[in-house]
Amino acid sequence: MKAFLGTGLLGSNFVKAMLRRGDQVQVWNRTLSKAKALETDGALAFEEVTEAVRGAAVIHLTLKDDAAVNEVLEAASVGFEFGAIIIDHTTTSVEGAVERTAAWKAKGFTYLHAPVFMGPPNALEGSGNMLVSGDQEVIARVEGELSKMTGKLINFGQEEGKAAGIKLIGNLFLISMTAGLSDALALAKALDIDSADISSLFASWNPGAGAPARLDKLRTGDFSKPSWELDMARKDAGLMMSAASAKGVKLTVLPAVAAEMDAWIAKGHGSDDWSVIAKDNC
């Protein structure tokens, strides 16, 4: 028997996939109707979280944040089976993941943080990426369980909380990328270029494909052999901001990047590769 706490878009599809694999799943959600909706798929829904976890050897969670995880687990613990394994897919702080691992171990339970880069369709299909780190014996025990849920299980080693940190870093990149796309669409609007043309551009030229190589270049910390000089990149940024300003279009990300470029030019790095703006973080 499994339990799943938190049946929003992601959690509900995880549950549906489990049921399709023949698992018995007991579910709970703060909004009872979301849990009850899964009964048509074969789940058992409970109004009380203590009842939802009763008899479950494995308890999965997809909740909002650290506070929600702590509150729900504490409330549910009255119904825990001795030695139950708690697998938390919530995006949380590093500190929270580390503290919960130790706290639940002290109480006789196994807690593993396993955040995901998966949307609801991935949860239903068993695709996407799931991250783990920490006690390798624990991970080995649940690897089969987790591998069924995701296309790829990525193990970052012994360090408790590392998976939580990697998830936050990945989410930061996703936020930054989407904000950059927002600026690209804003500039297209200012230049009277249809967004469909931008889509066609990225379908042929995928800048994201170069991310691993660009990251490796940043990690070397050598900006003395420019492929795009900072002075030239700043000139281009100025053209972009001027075009947007002329049409009253707001850019969100680029002005902050341009300000950082100006600071590095003032320090004498105008002829370096423009990525020198990341030097202090490498």
Residues 219, 186: Cα–Cα separation, whole Å: 31
**How far apart are the C-alpha atoms of 96 and 116, rounded to whole Å?**
16
> What DSSP element (H or E) covers 132?
strand 129-132
Residues known to be catalytic: 167
Please list, in sequence order, all residues whose beta carbon lies within 8 angstroms of the beta carbon of residue 36, skipping any fewer than 6 positions away: 45
What region does 79 belong to: left with phi over 0, alpha with psi -120 to 50, or beta?
A: alpha
CB-CB contact of 76 with 49 (8 Å): yes
d(CA 213, CA 155): 22
Contacts 24+ apart (CB under 8 A), 37-41: 37/7, 37/12, 38/7, 38/12, 41/15, 41/16
Reference 277, options 47, 184, 243, 263; nearest CA is: 263
Nearest CA-CA partner of 269 in 227, 238, 228, 224 = 224
